[in-house]
Amino acid sequence: MCIKNLANHPEFIPAVARWRWDEWGHLDPDRTLNDVVKVLETHIVPEKIPQTLIAILGDQPVGTASLTQHDMKTRMDLSPWLAGVFVPPEYRSRGIASSLVRAIENLAGDLGYEEIFLYTNSAEGLYKKLCWVKIGREEYKGREVVIMSKMITT
C-alpha cells in the first residue's frame, strides 16, 4: 500500500466522493454527490489547504483523509483539521486509517502547522492510540462529537 496526494490521481475523485457521500451525505441534506465532487476538485492544488490523500493498494483506492482549514462551523477558531478519514469496510483493520492519519499529520507539519484538530463521533479510540488528545465534547449536526488535537512535531 502507498499513500499519494489526490492531486496526482484525480481519476480517484469519483470514488472518494462516493465514499464521502455514502458515509456523511445525510449530515448535509442540501448537498449533492456532485457538490462533493466539486469540493474534492478544489483539493488538488499542491502545497495549499485543502488537500486530500488516498491510500492505494495495487491500482485501487482503499482509503482517504483530508487536511482542511475548517471542519466544524461552530469551531472556526481552530485550524487546520484532519477530516474525512474513511476506509471501506473490506479494507479496515489493516492499519490503513492510521497510516492516512500519520500522513496528514506529516503534511500539516510540512506546511508549517504546529497543531491539528479533528472531531469524531465514532473513532475516539483510534485517535487516542495515535496520541491525539480530547479537548472538548459538543453536539454537532445532531450528534455528540469529541474534539481532539495533536501537536505536530517535526
For the chain, the domains span 2-151
Residue 45 CA to residue 31 CA, distance in Å, equals 23
**In this structure, which amino acid lies at residue 21?**
W
Mean pLDDT, residues 17-28 taken together? 88
Which residues are within 8 A (CB) of 78 and not within 5 positions of it... i.e. 6 or more apart?
70, 72, 117, 147, 149
Quote the radius of gyration of the chain (alpha carbons, Å): 15
- pLDDT the model gives residue 154: 62
pLDDT at 4: 96
The mean pLDDT value for 34-45 works out to 87
* Residue 122: burial class (beta carbons within 10 Å; 0-12, 13-18, 19+): exposed
User: Quick check: 43 pLDDT over 90?
Assistant: no
Cell numbers for 67? 487536511
Residue 40: DSSP 8-state: H
Coil vs helix vs strand at 110 = helix
Q: Is the confidence at residue 113, as pLDDT, over 90?
A: yes
The hierarchical CATH code for the domain 2-151 is 3.40.630.30
Task: Say if residue 23's pLDDT is above 90.
Answer: no
Q: Give this prediction's pTM.
A: 0.90
Confidence of residue 26 (pLDDT cuts 50, 70, 90): confident
User: What 3-state DSSP class applies to 10?
Assistant: helix
